[in-house]
């Protein structure tokens, strides 16, 4: 049995996809569950990046060139944004888990 939550925590901020392929076309069923506020924020971030002239727009264009539909390319961009966001959260948590640097010794503590 595969632990679904081991990869990225919970599905609250993930766009889980379940594959199904009728005929020759690959189709993906999206998990509509999770945190709708976070999903909406990811969608708005993706749309803003597609409209701009940056890394997100370049990734979207590469996906279209690779034969993905606009919907598929946007879903992939949202997933990429979500992955980066998740890595940033993990890095912040790792920073919080580090012990704080102790205060440097004072002359009074050295004399004792």
Question: In this predicted structure, which of 30-44, 55-69, 88-102 has the lowest mean pLDDT?
Answer: 88-102
Beta strands in 1-112 (DSSP E): 17-20, 27-30
Distance (Å, rounded) from C-alpha 46 to C-alpha 39? 11
Q: What pTM was estimated for this model as a whole?
A: 0.63
pLDDT at 2: 37
pLDDT at 85: 93
Integer-rounded Cα Rg, in Å, for the chain is 21
| The pLDDT of residue 41 is above 70 | yes
Please, what's the largest Cα pairwise distance for the chain?
Answer: 82
pLDDT digits (tens, 9 = 90+) for 64-112: 999 999 999 999 999 999 999 999 999 988 887 776 666 666 766 565 5
């Amino acid at each position: 049995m595969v632990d679904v939550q081991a990869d990225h925590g919970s599905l609250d901020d993930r766009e889980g996809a379940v594959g199904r392929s009728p005929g020759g076309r690959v189709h993906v069923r999206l998990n509509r569950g999770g945190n709708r506020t976070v999903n909406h924020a990811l969608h708005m971030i993706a749309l803003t990046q597609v409209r701009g002239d940056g890394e997100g727009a370049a990734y979207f264009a590469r996906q279209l060139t690779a034969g993905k539909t606009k919907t598929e390319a946007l879903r992939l961009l949202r997933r990429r944004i979500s992955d980066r966001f998740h890595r940033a959260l993990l890095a912040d948590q790792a920073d919080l888990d580090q012990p704080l640097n102790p205060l440097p010794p004072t002359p009074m503590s050295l004399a004792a």
